[in-house]
């Protein structure tokens, strides 16, 4: 579980822990959440990713479910966006999934089973002004997941995407009131989502009940991106 120290990642980690699973979270800053095994890891650094997998495997055994949730925004209009604004967001949100999936799939291929779940965003499907770097990274996750689903399916490894809409976390709290209002006007359920609602979708995709689902994009967005 990457980005498991706060927000959606923490809610997912807690959900698995409550179900009795062995959970390992990566955190970049601060402390690991209380009661959960944590490994410090910046997902943009491949050496740290490799080290995190070593520590997690030594502590808890092979990774059976990978949830990649670490992510960031650096919102600005294209004309003001520096190349670094673009590449940093893509590295953190998209290339990190490549690093994580590559490390996790090694043991999953050996075990001939596994679940990879990537957290994208509804905005990747309908676009968002000022977020071209972010939406490109999140749309990239969908193509990445679908290709992996084809590469790994014969080994009983499923690869799926959960696509949250606006969800009550620090990331959403960073938006202005005007931005929040504009987004919520597009949500049929007319409210912001809760991190626990995203966690429930992830738990389903990791469960035995979802054994015949791969390459899917599961929206948890109050209907905002339906039809996309
Ligand atoms: P938060 O901003 O609350 O948390 C972001 C998490 O990502 C933190 O754990 C943060 O760690 C971690 N992170 C960021 N950069 C790195 C890095 N380089 N290395 C390791 N960890 C990193 O975000 P949310 O919980 O809201 O978002 C979780 C995921 O859900 C993200 O991928 C986001 O894009 C996606 N999402 C969120 C939506 C929302 O409305 N909230 C909507 C749609 C998608 P640290 O604490 O150390 O900074």
Determine the average pLDDT of the residues in 70-92: 97
Residues 38-55 pLDDT 10s: 999 999 999 999 999 999
* 134 included as an active-site residue: yes
Q: For 189, how many CA atoms within 13 A lie in the half-sphere containing its CB?
A: 14
CA of 170 to the centre of ligand 1 (A): 8
Q: Measured from the CB, is residue 105 less than 6 Å from ligand 1?
A: no
| CB 145, CB 215: distance < 8 Å | yes
Pocket lining: 163 vs ligand 1, CB cutoff 6 Å: no
* Chain centre distance of CA 147: 17
Confidence band of 179 (pLDDT split at 50, 70, 90): confident
CA of 144 to the centre of ligand 1 (A): 19
Question: Under a CB-based contact definition with an 8 Å cutoff, are residues 190 and 222 in contact?
Answer: yes
Token duo for residue 21: 């699973």
The pLDDT of 190-200, averaged and rounded, is: 98
Q: What percent of the chain has pLDDT over 70?
A: 100
Atom 7 of ligand 1, residue of closest alpha carbon: 70
> Domain locations in the chain?
7-165+196-220
- Mean pLDDT to the nearest integer, 63-91: 98
User: If DSSP states are collapsed to H, E and C, what string results for the chain?
Assistant: CECCCCHHHHHHHHHHHHCCCCCEEEECCCCCCCCCEEEECCCCCHHHHHHHHHHHHHHHCCCCEEEECCCCCCCCCHHHCCHHHHHHHHHHHHHHHHHHHHHHHHHHHHHCCEEEEEECCCHHHHCCCCCHHHHHHHHHHHHHHHHHHHHHHHHCEEEEEEEECCECCHHHHCCCHHHHHHHHCCCCCCCCECHHHHHHHHHHHHCHHHCCCCCCEEEECCCCCCCC
Torsions phi, psi of 118, nearest 5? -110, 140
pLDDT digits (tens, 9 = 90+) for 122-140: 999 999 999 999 999 999 9
**Ligand 1 atom, smallest distance to 168 CA:** 41
Measured in angstroms, how far is the CA atom of residue 71 from the centroid of ligand 1?
Answer: 4
> What pLDDT sits at residue 135?
98
Q: What tokens appear for 166 in the block?
A: 């606006």
**Which of 144, 168, 158, 164 is closest to 205 using CA atoms?**
158
At the fourth CATH level, the homologous superfamily of domain 7-165+196-220 is NAD(P)-binding Rossmann-like Domain (3.40.50.720)
């Amino acid at each position: 579980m990457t980005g498991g120290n706060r927000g959606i990642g923490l809610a997912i980690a807690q959900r698995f822990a409550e179900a009795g699973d062995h959970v390992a979270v990566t955190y970049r800053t601060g402390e690991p959440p209380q009661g959960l095994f944590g490994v410090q890891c910046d997902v943009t650094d491949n050496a740290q990713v490799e080290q995190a997998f070593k520590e997690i495997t030594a502590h808890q055994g092979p990774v059976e479910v990978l949830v990649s949730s670490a992510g960031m925004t650096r919102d600005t209009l294209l004309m003001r966006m520096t190349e670094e604004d673009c590449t940093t967001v893509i590295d953190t949100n998209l290339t990190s999934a490549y690093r994580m999936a590559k490390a996790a799939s090694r043991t999953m291929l050996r075990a001939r089973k596994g679940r990879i779940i990537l957290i994208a965003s509804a905005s990747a499907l309908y676009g968002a002004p000022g977020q071209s770097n972010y939406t490109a990274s999140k749309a990239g996750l969908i193509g990445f997941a679908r290709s992996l689903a084809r590469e790994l399916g014969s080994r009983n490894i499923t690869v799926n995407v959960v696509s949250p809409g606006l969800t009550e976390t620090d990331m959403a709290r960073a938006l202005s009131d005007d931005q929040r209002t504009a987004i919520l006007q597009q949500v049929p359920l007319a409210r912001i989502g809760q991190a626990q609602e995203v966690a429930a979708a992830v738990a389903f995709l990791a469960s035995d009940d979802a054994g015949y689902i791969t390459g899917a994009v599961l929206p948890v967005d109050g209907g905002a991106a339906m039809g996309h």
